Structure 1
Amino acid sequence: MTTHASAPLTAPLRNVEYRVLWAAEAISSAGDQLAKVALSILVYNRTGSALWAAVVYALTFLPALAGGLGLSFLADRYPRRVVLASSAAVQAVLVGLMSIPGMPLGVLCGLLVVVQLAASPANAAQNAITREVFEDDELYLRSQDLRGITTNTVQLLGLAGGGLLVTAVGSSWALAIDAVSFAVAAVIVRIWVHDRPAAGGEQTTWFGATRWVFGQRRLRVLIALSWLVGLSVVPEGLAAPLARQLGEPSAAVGWLLAADPLGFVVGAYLLSKFASAPTRQRLLGVLATLSLALLALFLLRPNLPVALVLLALAGAMGAYIITVTATFSTWVPNELRGGAGGLYRTGLRVAQGVGVAIGGVVAQATGSAVTAIALAGVAGVVLAIPTAFSWTRVRHAVAADSGL
């Protein structure tokens, strides 16, 4: 059902449930940005070891991957409001314990693992509830635009001021702020989000959604489109060596990191304002290919201003991922949406991690971050073109089945 093709970007905020879900995510995301910076500074100051700092950063990533596959089904088996509020409450308590000054490093790492595991069913429940809130496809897509813009804006603010704030208040207080953000999220979700019965119930099985998703060709193609982002994020992992190769000061690292999310925010806004849901679906393959083709232009050895423009434009084209995610969620039955969303999110994060790792290996082997980024773009275009054609065939097949 699509009735609000001209709805403004802020239209979803008129819905009280979505407004609460959006606010809860924004608040906890801001707290998480602080916590990541705080943990890195805390561990490095205490151990003086870059390895330990890297290990702790990895612990903000790896458990979420396992949880995304193994725990997301809880958002189908149990009422989603309960899952979301309970997960946020658990995270508030655990991060609160992490904020205690002098907490042993091993205990800190253990708590961090559990915090990240608890995030998986929460994310699955959040995504599934949002789809339930909106019956209108256009409003739902705009709700995802708003989420994407908010998340990337929070990321930009974290890059701009996270380190300064942690330095000002201290690591323990920054973690305490993160704990409070989770507590606030738990309370407002519990009060204002409707209590719905479990979508899947007792018949929900572990990995049942995963088996169903991979049996659907149209969903496999959407997953393939999402995995292309793994090559788009290569510049993020190479920001420091790229700045050095361009002969720029350390401050340029922040600019290079900020270019992509800034472009993403602009791209998401423009797509939301000027393109309907069907139009955006038609453009998916084109935008995915262009986002990678812009990285391939690093073959021309750009200077810093040109590099920033290319990265920002690539980020703007990369806003196609919002439509991919929204379409995936719409095409999955409600009773499987939590587990399927966990699979999708996990695959996306793995693709990003693998992409950054491969980019680092190529940069090390070639001695050039510019070359590694360009090769990621070339390889991405080679993969994106057949994926785009597959998407066109799938989209036409779905339209034919729907009688459109």
Structure 2
Amino acid sequence: MVTVLANREFRALWISEAVSVAGDQLTRVALAILVYNRTGSAFYAAGIYALTFLPALAGGLGLSQLADRYRRRTLMVVCSVIQAVVVATMAIPHVPLWVLFVLVIIVPMVQSPALAAQNATTREVFADDDAMYLRSQDLRGISTNTMMLLGLGGGGLLIGAIGVTATLLIDAGTFTIAAILVQRDVRNRPPAGSKDDGWFDGAKWVFSDRRLRVLLSLSWLVGLAVIPEGLAAPLAQEAGAPPEAVGWLLAADPMGFILGTFLISRFVPDHHRVKLVGVLATASVGVLALFVIKPNLVVALVLLALAGMVGAYQITVMAVFNSIVPNEIRGGAFGAARTGLRVSQGLGVAAGGLVAELIGSAMNTVALAGMLGVALAVPLAVSWARLQRNPAEAGQKSSAESGQQEAA
């Protein structure tokens, strides 16, 4: 994976994404603490945290198409500058709460087209080397999850040491660094699409292709896999664990994801990775069904880590997705895929909380989620295996798809 860093464009994209992700996690923690300190309301504190996620849904489905209509490097730079200014404004002492809430909405809205442009540009950087592109996605997956863990895990300590204002300024600095790196090292390619294209052409193209429908359905099973995160506190209590175990339960999945990404990248040949997507997707939810045995804390941590390890199939999913989708609609297509992923996660966590409340057991809820996941995953995995054997069943075909099949 380290060899991909020899590419100057990818190196700039990778560093800018890594520092921005870490800064984002710091900001989420900082804003929750800031609002709680000023209002004393857990509702407002949770609300400001939720607002860092929710606007990405609208932005992902709509604004992501800007990545196809305009120069992607320019879009990434402009979005990073806007985010830097907005976060720096949040750091101004005694900003009215209503202004803070508005600013919090702006950041993820602006981030959506930037992420779409970054995702599409990374594929362009390695357009002639599918194997190297896959390695680059492995590295992105490892670094992103590592930075999320560091940002969330160390956020409280850092804020306690330097304060909320300084922490927010650090995040503003990460966006500034990202803008400088991208402007300096990424090629200024012409727009991949046209301003005359339909606004939702990317999403329409994705859902008219059977192979992509199956692929994304396998990816969106994460909506069930994420349920233990929403139930971390009651899971710890049910396992008879101390309160600090909540953090361990939350960290188990991303830790497993990092390890799984490394192992798959290191030991599984590229052509097998594509074929194993259905199997790994089934396993990622199947492991959760073992919560029916009411595991103790150690076993629960192992199960969640295993679910995270096999959940690393998500990186292969997006790599295949980006190789199938034509470059001129890749931004909008990515926005549709990411929006579906976010919606499935949100609905999954909400449904998990409701079921746990109704049946009175977080562990049984996680087990039911695993069983339901397997019931959904098995037919999807069978369909994916059939499409691998007979690609003509997929419906649409593009030159990008043909190239991916050759690599597989």
Per the alignment, residue 315 of structure 2 pairs with: 322
Select 1:288's aligned residue among 281, 287, 290: 281
Select 1:311's aligned residue among 296, 300, 304: 304
Select 1:58's aligned residue among 45, 50, 54: 50
Per the alignment, residue 44 of structure 1 pairs with: 36
Letter in 1 for 2:173: V
Cα drift, residue 203 of structure 1: 2.7
Give the Cα–Cα distance (whole angstroms) in 2 for the partners of residues 203 and 226 of structure 1: 31
Cα drift, residue 159 of structure 1: 3.5
Per the alignment, residue 136 of structure 2 pairs with: 143
Give the Cα–Cα distance (whole angstroms) in 2 for the partners of residues 357 and 147 of structure 1: 28
1:331-381 deviation per Cα after TM superposition (whole angstroms, max 9, x unaligned):
000000000001111111111111111111111111111111111101000
3-state SS in 1 of match to 2:116: helix
Per the alignment, residue 249 of structure 1 pairs with: 242
4+ residue segments displaced more than 4 Å: 399-404
Tell me, yes or no, if the aligned pair for 1:159 and 1:258 is still in contact at 8 Å. Answer: no
| Overall identity of the aligned pairs, in % | 60
Select 2:91's aligned residue among 89, 99, 104: 99
Whether 1:265 and 2:258 are equivalent positions in the alignment is yes
Q: Counterparts of 1:2-401 in structure 2 under 5 Å?
A: 9-134=1-126, 135-398=128-391
Letter in 1 for 2:40: G
Give the Cα–Cα distance (whole angstroms) in 2 for the partners of residues 235 and 307 of structure 1: 10
Give the Cα–Cα distance (whole angstroms) in 2 for the partners of residues 66 and 141 of structure 1: 28
Cα drift, residue 110 of structure 1: 0.3
Give the Cα–Cα distance (whole angstroms) in 2 for the partners of residues 247 and 170 of structure 1: 34
Give the Cα–Cα distance (whole angstroms) in 1 for the partners of residues 388 and 187 of structure 2: 34
Cα drift, residue 277 of structure 1: 2.1
Give the Cα–Cα distance (whole angstroms) in 2 for the partners of residues 347 and 339 of structure 1: 13
Tell me, yes or no, if the aligned pair for 1:89 and 1:186 is still in contact at 8 Å. Answer: yes
Cα drift, residue 172 of structure 1: 1.3
Give the Cα–Cα distance (whole angstroms) in 1 for the partners of residues 287 and 209 of structure 2: 31
Give the Cα–Cα distance (whole angstroms) in 1 for the partners of residues 151 and 92 of structure 2: 23
Give the Cα–Cα distance (whole angstroms) in 2 for the partners of residues 330 and 116 of structure 1: 26
Tell me, yes or no, if the aligned pair for 1:240 and 1:253 is still in contact at 8 Å. Answer: yes
Give the Cα–Cα distance (whole angstroms) in 1 for the partners of residues 28 and 354 of structure 2: 25
Unaligned residue ranges in structure 1 (runs of 5+): 1-8
1:70-122 deviation per Cα after TM superposition (whole angstroms, max 9, x unaligned):
10000000000001111001000011101111111000010111111100000
Deviates more, 1:159-168 or 1:217-226: 159-168
- TM-score, scaled relative to structure 2: 0.95
1:264-319 deviation per Cα after TM superposition (whole angstroms, max 9, x unaligned):
00100011111122110110111111111110000011101000000000100000
Give the Cα–Cα distance (whole angstroms) in 1 for the partners of residues 269 and 194 of structure 2: 35
- TM-score, scaled relative to structure 1: 0.96
Give the Cα–Cα distance (whole angstroms) in 2 for the partners of residues 166 and 399 of structure 1: 55
Give the Cα–Cα distance (whole angstroms) in 2 for the partners of residues 355 and 250 of structure 1: 24
The number of aligned residues is: 396
Cα drift, residue 169 of structure 1: 1.1
